[in-house]
Amino acid sequence: MSEDDRAGALTPLQAALRRRCPRCGRGRLLEGFLRAAPVCESCGLDLRPYDAGDGPAFFAGALAGLGGVGAVALSMLAFDAPGAWPVAAGMAGAIVGGLAPLPFLKCFFIAQAWRKAARR
Ligand SMILES: [Zn+2]
């Protein structure tokens, strides 16, 4: 990678927030909800070597736990929810807390891997 390639590059945070190619900032990083695009549709960057693997899922799992516990605590302490409502709230919180940040985390990992490889 030359200095010219890095001139328009996005930071991993910018690429993850926009879900765009870290090199050109235009092509999509994901096809659908979670499938990583094999190649940038705009600049042709091969994204396969930067597959994030299970890293994003690990962090999403941790966030799912936080979302579930937070929803249970909120339903019990703030609303004094009866019966099975805290369990239902915990399950919903875990699902939302785990799934919502997953595309962001996947894009962040891909962009970070590309940036790290580009510095070599
Ligand atoms: Zn691109």
**Cα of 113 from ligand 1 centre, angstroms:** 14
DSSP character for 28? B
For the chain, the structural domain boundaries read 3-119
**Cα of 12 from ligand 1 centre, angstroms:** 13
What stretch of H or E contains 23? none
**Cα of 46 from ligand 1 centre, angstroms:** 9
**Cα of 89 from ligand 1 centre, angstroms:** 40
| Count of C-beta atoms within a 10 Å radius of residue 54 | 10
Only one residue has tokens 């595309």, namely 103
Burial 6-20 (b: 16+ CB within 10 A, else e): eeebbebeebbebbb
Residues 80, 84, 90, 96, CA torsion sign: negative
**Cα of 104 from ligand 1 centre, angstroms:** 17
Q: Show pLDDT as tens, one digit a residue, over the chain (120 residues).
A: 444 455 668 999 999 999 999 999 999 999 999 899 999 999 999 999 998 888 999 999 999 999 999 999 999 998 888 888 999 999 999 999 999 999 999 999 999 999 998 777
Radius of gyration of the CA atoms of the chain, in A: 18
**Cα of 55 from ligand 1 centre, angstroms:** 22
Q: How many helices (H) and strands (E) does the chain have?
A: 5, 2
The SS3 of residue 61 is helix
Two structure tokens written together for 44: 């042709």
Arithmetic mean of pLDDT over the chain: 89
**Cα of 62 from ligand 1 centre, angstroms:** 30
pTM of the predicted protein model? 0.81
